[in-house]
A and B are shown apart, each in its own frame.
Chain A
Amino acid sequence: MLQMSWLIPLFPLLSFILLVVFRKSSNENTAWIGVLLTGASFVLSFGAWLAVWQGDGIKVEGTWFQLGERAITMGYEVNPLNALMLVIVSLVSLLVHLYSKGYMHGDERFSVFFAYLGLFSFAMLGLVLSPNLLQLYMFWELVGLGSFLLIGFYYFKPEAKAAAKKAFVMTRIGDVGLFIGMVLLFWQVGSFEYDEIFSAIKNGELSQSMLTLTAICIFVGAIGKSGQLPLHTWLPDAMEGPTPVSALIHAATMVAAGVYLVAAMYPLFQASETALTVVAVVGGVTAIFAASIGLMQKDIKRVLAYSTVSQLGYMMLALGASGYVAGIFHLTTHAFFKALLFLAAGSVIHAVHTQNIEEMGGLWKKLNITGPLFLIGALAISGIPLLSGFFSKDEILMSTYADGKYGLFWIAVIAAFMTAFYMFRLFFLVFTGKPRGSQKGVHESPSVMTLPMIVLGVLAVVAGYLNTPWFGTFLTDYLSQGPVELLHADHHGPVWIPFVATAVALLGIGLAYMIYQKGSVSRDWLTRTFPGLSHVIYNKWFVDEGYDRTVVKGTTGLSWLGVWFDKYVIEGLVAGVVSGVQALSRLGSEMQNGQVQSYGTFAIFGLVLLLLIAALSGGYFS
């Protein structure tokens, strides 16, 4: 099975090519091309995962091109970490393909959408299979392309155009960091291979400052892709894309690539305490920052987007706090419950044709499959015991505490409270109460859409049992087969942590219930008590505006300065030379007045001058 794993990304690529060829076909059965080929990748991925579970692994490489004596290689590798990612990516991709068959029904560019999904899946699976940094970087950019195309799928909408551009540029800023880190590592180690980089680190071939520098550069790449502070602003805007895209790319897979990158390069981060601290702090701050914005958003998808940013921050926090397993574990569970939440949100949007939660309400009865599934997702993300999110979040808190990062620990606890609150604010506003806005002909989505949600719902419940203190730490055992040496493999934090986590989750849900369901606390309580703060939070801490005023204005200002320089200084110099030459030639033409006498005078003076030079230079010309 493992020998065939190179086929995993090629199936979606084939789907892309076929669907581009058939892009004009109005027959919506073209979707099955995508579904079947992604299904094939899923089967292969699952097989590979089973093989790795039994302790197998594979790495195949060949020379891509020769650079001096060094060969730049390409190939594929399956190890515990990426086998897990393969399964997550191909599974979510398969489910999203299926879901889109219903969601995109009737769209003019139906087949093109599936083609783009294929391209994205190809790139994402290729990224995961990469055995070296260069190949990872290449697919990293291609994943960005897939995301760009899908965000801008509704190309005629100006918001989609702006969002697509923003997503590409913001992640590109991060990518440049990754690029620099990768190239610096290459000149230190002489290779892009993970194995060789890790063994060089182990042998102490790199200085401590170089380790920190490269690790932070690579982390900048992860910041861009995973929407961490300060490059997070593209992710909420990316919600302009169709909802299945948000579920696949901006919740489950691509944005998790940043976390995957840090995990894949973990030995590098482990070697530098500073780098780990940076990762943890960025993650922790992002977690609470994004959660705070999520409290007040009115667009259902944007709430989920900020929630994604916040949860990604959790994963980074875990990795930064030496909680390698906890980070991966949360990545896995989050992929399932967040994809579920997005697909459920898509189903709601499909039914009511709006994204504004103020215009929803009372949908529980009408959407009798979507509603409970959304509730499962919300409970899971809030960290209610026995659901997947509880176990993974618990591990993150444990490892943060065990690592001695108490400040970040409490930040994470507060963020958990906020998470529970905004998720249930969403739930109550959407599904309970009286219908607001104009809801006509609301009906449950077709089974092609509900089926993927049900699968994800089941996974959102059971995925947590991969790694629990009660039933066994399967995931820890599994991941420790990989190249990463797990320092604090089992965190035995204080026993009270799970209880605190559960308590804050319940508190958040309770508060949401009181405000939005019972109405015993006024809705604008917060706005009235802290008008300044809530204004800032409602406007997303003015980060976008800040960037507009500084970076964007600065860059365009520089550009105008350049244009001015080009127009006046450089062109001016040219014009100066031109007018100088013209003046000279005018002088010359004035000498030609047509009178023999003046010609004679010039001739005589010229002759005298020449003779003088000849006499003074001692007859050089002779």
Chain B
Amino acid sequence: MSSVPLTAYLMLALILFCIGLFGALTKRNAVIVLISIELMLNAVNINLVAFAKYSLNPGLTGQVFSLFTITVAAAEAAVGLAILIALYRNRQTVNVDEMDTMKR
């Protein structure tokens, strides 16, 4: 078997998640924010797969779940982009800063 330890996978996932989180919280462009969210989801996928392989009784559950996640993420990205386009049509911008209607 390969000698890559579990922690390496987890560390990769952590870094990926943090990059995604940072992007999601700071980027002004809504498209980038969406992409960042995808990054976070993929970090989770890595975790799922890694645990599925390295846990006490390895199985396929993790892989199956990550497939589900990918599916849901695709759907979510589609819905998210659709909303984004609708917003763009209404307000001529994808800048997140200007989308503060929740305050009003």
Q: What residues of chain A have their CB less than 8 Å away from a CB belonging to chain B? A: 592-597, 600-601, 604
Contact = CB atoms under 8 A, between A and B. Distances in A.
B100 A593 contact: yes
A597 B24 CA distance: 7
Interface in B82-104: 96-97, 99-104
Contacts of B21: 604
B24 to A, nearest CB: 7
Contacts of B26: 597
A596 to B, nearest CB: 7
Given A594-B101, A595-B97, A597-B24, 12 more contacts: A593-B100, A594-B100, A594-B103, A594-B104, A595-B100, A595-B102, A595-B103, A596-B102, A600-B24, A601-B25, A604-B21, A604-B25
Contacts of A592: 103
A595 B99 CA distance: 7
A597 B27 CA distance: 9
Interface residues of B, number: 13
Contacts of B103: 592-595
B101 A596 contact: no
A600 B25 contact: yes
Contacts, number: 27
**Most chain A beta-carbon neighbours within 10 Å: one of B26, B100, B101, B104:** B100
List 3 A-B pairs, minimum CB-CB distance, nearest first.
A594-B103, A594-B100, A594-B102
A621 B102 CA distance: 33
21 contacts: A593-B100, A593-B103, A594-B101, A594-B102, A594-B103, A594-B104, A595-B96, A595-B97, A595-B99, A595-B100, A595-B102, A595-B103, A596-B96, A596-B99, A596-B102, A597-B25, A597-B26, A597-B96, A600-B24, A604-B21, A604-B25
A79 B26 CA distance: 102
Nearest to A594: B103
B35 to A, nearest CB: 15
Contacts of A600: 24-25
Contacts of B102: 594-596
Interface string B58-78: 000000000000000000000
Contacts of B99: 595-596
B82 to A, nearest CB: 17
Interface in B13-67: 21, 24-26, 33
Nearest to A600: B25
Contacts of A593: 100, 103
Contacts of A594: 100-104
A592 B104 CA distance: 10
A382 to B, nearest CB: 98
B20 to A, nearest CB: 12
**Most chain A beta-carbon neighbours within 10 Å: one of B26, B96, B102, B104:** B102
A233 B103 CA distance: 74
A271 B24 CA distance: 96
A593 B104 CA distance: 9
**Most chain B beta-carbon neighbours within 10 Å: one of A592, A594, A597, A604:** A597
A53 B102 CA distance: 102
A600 B99 CA distance: 14
Contacts of A596: 96, 99, 102
A512 to B, nearest CB: 98
Contacts of B24: 597, 600
B8 to A, nearest CB: 23
A612 to B, nearest CB: 16
Nearest to B28: A597
B76 to A, nearest CB: 15
Nearest to A597: B25
Nearest to A599: B102
A301 B103 CA distance: 84
A605 to B, nearest CB: 10
A596 B30 CA distance: 11
A604 B18 CA distance: 11
B40 to A, nearest CB: 11
A541 to B, nearest CB: 79
